[in-house]
A and B are shown apart, each in its own frame.
Chain A
Amino acid sequence: MSRARLLPGTVTALLAVALAGCAGWGGGGGGSGGANSIDVLMVNNPQMIDLQRLTADHFTKQTGITVNFTVLPENDVRDKISQEFSSQAGQYDIASLSNFEIPIYAKSKWIAPLDGYVGADTAFDQADILKPMTQSLTADDGKLYGEPFYGESSFLMYRKDVLDAQGITMPAKPTWQQVADIAAQVDGKQPGMAGICLRGQPGWGQIFAPLTTVVNTFGGTWFDAGWNARVDAPEFRQATQFYVDLVRAHGETGAPQAGFTECLNNLIQGNVAMWYDATSAAGSLEAADSPVKGKIGYAAAPVVRTPASGWLYAWSWSIQQASEKKDNAWKFISWASSKQYEQLVGERIGWSSVPAGKRSSTYTNQEYLKVASAFAAPTRDAIAGADPRNPGVQPRPALGIQFVDIPEFTDLGTQASQYVSSAIAGQMSVTEALDRGQRLAEDVAERYKSRAEG
C-alpha cells in the first residue's frame, strides 16, 4: 500500500464513524428535537430533585410529554440561564428562575408572559397563589411572567428545649435586641453549642439575604428613591455592626464561611441554639430522620423599626420567549405548580417535602398541617407579611426585600459581601467594609441617576 492509498482509507473510515454517530446519548427516546418533549433547566434543590423523580411516572404518563432536565448548582444555573436566555438559544423551554430575575428578564423580553395560559387554565387557580408571590413575579408592564414552584420567607428558628432549660421564653415577634440577649444567655450553656447561627459566607444571596432584612428593619437601605447610595448611612452601619458583633460574640464557629447549608447542619447537629434564615429550612429540620425533629420553635423574623422583616423568595418557572413548545411548557408548569402535585409529593415522598409557600390551600390541607403544624402558620404569616415594594421605612427605587431588583445587584452585593465577611473574620472594621461598599454602590447609583436624567 502506498502513501496515496493509505490516506483515503483513513478518511473513509473516519467519515463512516462520523455518519454513524448521532448527536448524543441523552434525551431519552424523543431527544431534544422531538415534538412531544420539552427541556427544563433547573437549580439543584431537593424539591427539584423530587420533581425530576416524579415526572416520568406521572406527568409523562398523563400527557405523553417527555421532559429532559438539566440540573445545576445555584450559581452555575444562574450563569447558564442568563447565557441561554440572553442569546435566546431556544435549547430550553423552561427554566427555574427566582423573583429576582423574573422582572429583569421580563423587561428584556427574554421570557414569555403567562396571562393567556393562566386565564385559559381554570384548574390551575391563580387566585390560590399567595398574593405577594404573584406580585413579585409580575413585571412593570403588569403581566405575569412566572409561576412559583415553592416560596419562602425568613423567620427565627430556635431550640425550645434549650431555651426552656434556661427559663427563657421566646416572644412570638421578637426584636433583634431580645434575640441578641437570648443568644448571649444560651451561648455555651450546652457543650459546643453557640448562641445563634447567622450566614457569613460572601455572596449577594448568602450573607446579604439575612443582613439586608436586618438593614431594612434598622431603617437602612441600599438606595433611596432618588438613586442615592446609602450604604455608609448610620442605619446601614448600625445594622451591620449589630449583625457582625452578634455573630462574632455568640455565633457559630467558622462564621465567615457559613451559608445556608452550614447553618442547617449546625442546628441539626446541635452546634447552635438559634438560627435566622429561610422558612424552607423547616422541612429539613422536621424531616423524619432529623435529630431535632419536634424540638424547634419558630418565631417571626426579628424586627426593630418595621412591623415585619421577613424576606420573599420564590423559585419559579418561566418559559423562554424563543421556545417553540410553549403550550407543552405551560402544561408542565401547570402540573408542577399545582395543588395536585403537592398532594402527590405528600403521598409519595412525605408531607414535610411538599414544595410549599406558594398556595393558600396548602395551609388548609389537614394532611400537610399534621406534619407541618409547628411551622406552617409562621411560614404563611411571614410570606403574607412580606411587601416587596415597601420593605423598609423609606420609599425604594426598585422591587425587592433582601435584594435590589436590578441586574447590577449580583455584582454589587457579592463584592460588598466580601468586605462584610472579612469584618466577621476580624480582618476589617465594619466602617471600612461599608465605606468600600458605598463606593461600589455609588457607581451603580450613578448609572441609574444619569438614566433618569437622560
Chain B
Amino acid sequence: MSITDTAPVAATRDERGRPVKKRREGANVWLSLLAWVVGILFVLPVVWMVLTSFHSEANAAQNPPAVLAPLTLEGYREFFSGGASPWPPLLNSLTASIISTLFVLLLSFPAAYALSIKPVKKWTDVLFFFLSTKMLPVVAGLLPLYLFAQNTGLLDNIWLLIVFYTAMNLPIAVWMMRSFLSEVPVEMLEAAAMDGANLTKTLRSVIAPVVMPGIAATALICFIFSWNELLFARVLTATVAETAPVFLTSFVTSQGLFLAQLCAAAFVVSLPVLVAGFAAQDKLVQGLSLGSVK
C-alpha cells in the first residue's frame, strides 16, 4: 500500500549545466516546512479528538485542557455497552453508503462515457444540467422530500436514504468520471477497435485498468459523503433506519459531561472512512491529482 509515485529529485545543475544556487534549496526547505505545518494543523483536531477519547470525562472537560491526564478506555466502554447498541446505526450507515456508492458508480460510468469518449450532442449543456442540481441548497428540498416520504410511507426506511444519497452524489461522480475518462488516449481506443475488441472488452480490458484510480477516488468521495450525511438522516429516520451521524449527536447532552464519550464515538464512527481512505491511498493519490493516465 505504498505510494508508487517517485518523489521529484532536486536538480543540482540548471539546464546550462551550471550548479544551482543554494538559495533555491533554502526555499525548498521553507516550502516543505510550510507543507508540514499546514498538514499538522489539519490533522491536529483529529489527534485532539483521539486523545480526548482516551481521557476520563472529568479530565476531558477541564479548562485549561489536561493534555497529560491518565488514559482510560471508559469512553469506548460507554460507547459499546452504554445505553443503546451502536451496531444498528453503524450497519445502517454502512448499508446506505456502500449500496448508494455502487448505484452511483453503475450510473455515472455510462453517463461519463457518453459525455467524453462518445460524446452526445450538446454534451457541455448536459454536463452543466447535471451540476445545476448541486446549486440548489439541500435544505430547500427538505420539506417537500419529508412530505413525500410521509405520504408514501417511506419515513424511517434506509432505502429512501440510499435513493437520496445516490441522487445527491451522482452529479459530482459524473463530473469526476468524465474528467478521468476524457484522459484515456483516443489512440488506445482506436487500437482496441482495430484489434476487434467489442464494447465490453474495450471497457473491461482497455478503459477500466486506465481509469481504475479515478473510479477508486470517485467511489471513496461518494462513500465519504454518504457516510457523513446528517441533515437528511436526522429528519427522515427514526428508530429503525437511524444512521451513525445521527447516533453520534445523541451523545451530546445539556446536563452533564459528555466530551470523552462523544470523542470515542466520533473516532469509532470515522474509522470506516479512515480505513477506506488508507486502503485506497495509492489509487487516491493518482486519482485525486487528476493525472491517472499521464
Q: Interface on A for B, CB 8 Å cutoff?
A: 1-3, 6, 10, 14, 17-18, 21, 23-27, 31-32, 39, 41, 44-46, 49, 52-53, 68-74, 76, 80, 83, 87, 89, 91-92, 254, 259-261, 264-265, 269, 280, 284
Contact = CB atoms under 8 A, between A and B. Distances in A.
Contacts of A53: 82-83
A6 B113 CA distance: 15
Interface stretch (B86-94, B182-190, B279-287): B86-94
Contact of B240 (A32, A73, A74): A32
A265 B254 CA distance: 12
A267 B291 CA distance: 58
Given A3-B199, A14-B103, A24 B83 contact: no
23 contacts: A2-B200, A17-B99, A21-B158, A24-B156, A24-B240, A25-B92, A26-B92, A27-B88, A27-B240, A39-B239, A41-B238, A45-B255, A53-B82, A68-B240, A69-B239, A73-B254, A76-B249, A76-B252, A80-B234, A89-B150, A260-B254, A261-B257, A269-B62
Contacts of A71: 83-84, 250
Given A53-B83, A260-B254, A23 B249 contact: no
Contact of A261 (B88, B200, B256): B256
Given A17-B99, A53-B83, A76-B249, A91 B256 contact: no
A164 B226 CA distance: 59
B238 A52 contact: no
B86 to A, nearest CB: 11
A2 B63 CA distance: 66
A228 B159 CA distance: 51
A234 to B, nearest CB: 33
Interface of B: 61-63, 82-84, 87-89, 91-92, 95, 99, 102-103, 106, 146-147, 150, 155-159, 198-200, 234-235, 237-242, 249-257
A120 to B, nearest CB: 28
Nearest to A84: B238
Q: Which of A24, A68, A260 has the largest number of chain B CB atoms within 10 A? A: A24
Contact of B91 (A25, A39, A45, A74): A25
Contact of B255 (A25, A72, A261): A261
B200 A6 contact: yes
B254 A91 contact: no
Contacts of A49: 82-83
B146 A87 contact: yes
A8 to B, nearest CB: 13
Given A25-B87, A92-B238, 5 more contacts: A21-B158, A27-B239, A74-B254, A80-B234, A87-B146
A45 B159 contact: no
B238 A25 contact: no
B88 A44 contact: no
Contacts of B146: 83, 87
B239 A26 contact: yes
B241 A26 contact: yes
A265 B199 CA distance: 67
A32 B238 contact: yes
